[in-house]
Amino acid sequence: MPDPIRAGFGRALTVLGVLLLAIWVAAAIDGGLSQTWLARRLGSLGDKSRDEELLRVAAATRHEAASSGLIGRMDVPRLNLSVYVLEGIGGTALRRGVGHVPGTPFPGERGNVGLAGHRDTYFRKLHRIAPGDTVRLTTPDGAFTYEVDSILIVSPSRGDLLRPDRRVGLTLVTCYPFHYVGPAPDRFVVLAQPTTSLVADAATHAGSGGASRRLSSGLVRGEARVKSVAP
């Protein structure tokens, strides 16, 4: 390769590298500023640290999600993971935090609450999560605590795992493997159950077959949402 061509090729790679770095820095700044704003917004709504029983309708959270996009904060104490949750799982929402899967119940409601995040940003620490870990969601309606009961590695076609009426609890979804280069082929799914005084009532709401259906397969309306969780 002649020297002028080699030099031009080298300059092009340098420019590309600088552009990619600038895009990454801009995304990181946007995410950091968004998390700070969401923290202030949740704080302005008053002290929501007290555990609440499950709700039929999370009215305050639904109102806030519609007006500002804020859902609340998710904490996994053992992992030292604390991240704010926004409505939706589009590119902007997942760049700025963890996204609430549209069509699933809101945190604290009786049903299958779906949250999704990127494996290389806000859900990076999920690779260390284990059964028995506590997941706490603090929202405009109060705080709700869940306990992890199982972890699954599934294909993107397992849309049934995000079906809003299949169980009462919390489902976290990200791409897998965590350190895969490029679009990851599988999904890492965390299933958690509520630990409030209404657990028995919640189980009744889900139906006696809820536990046995947890590993069922099938293509349902939640499938597109599972596939849309980018790595």
Find the distance separating the first CA and the last CA of the chain, reported in whole Å: 37
Domain count, the chain: 1
Q: Within 13 A of 201's CA, how many CA atoms are on the CB side?
A: 9
| Extended beta strands in the chain, E state | 70-76, 81-87, 98-100, 112-116, 134-139, 142-154, 169-176, 186-194
For residues 108 and 170, the answer to whether their CB atoms sit within 8 Å is no
Evaluate whether residue 187 is within a structural domain.
yes
In order along its 231 residues, the chain shows pLDDT tens digits of 567 666 666 666 666 566 655 554 655 676 677 788 899 999 899 888 778 889 999 999 999 999 999 999 999 999 999 999 999 999 999 999 999 999 999 999 999 999 999 999 999 999 999 999 999 999 999 999 999 999 999 998 887 888 887 789 999 999 999 998 888 999 999 999 999 654 544 444 444 333 323 332 222 223 334 544 545
- Tell me the sheet residues that pair with 99: 86, 116
Evaluate whether residue 118 is within a structural domain.
yes
pTM of structure: 0.77
Alpha-carbon span 146 to 1, nearest angstrom? 61
Evaluate whether residue 107 is within a structural domain.
yes
**Containing domain of residue 145, as a range?**
30-227
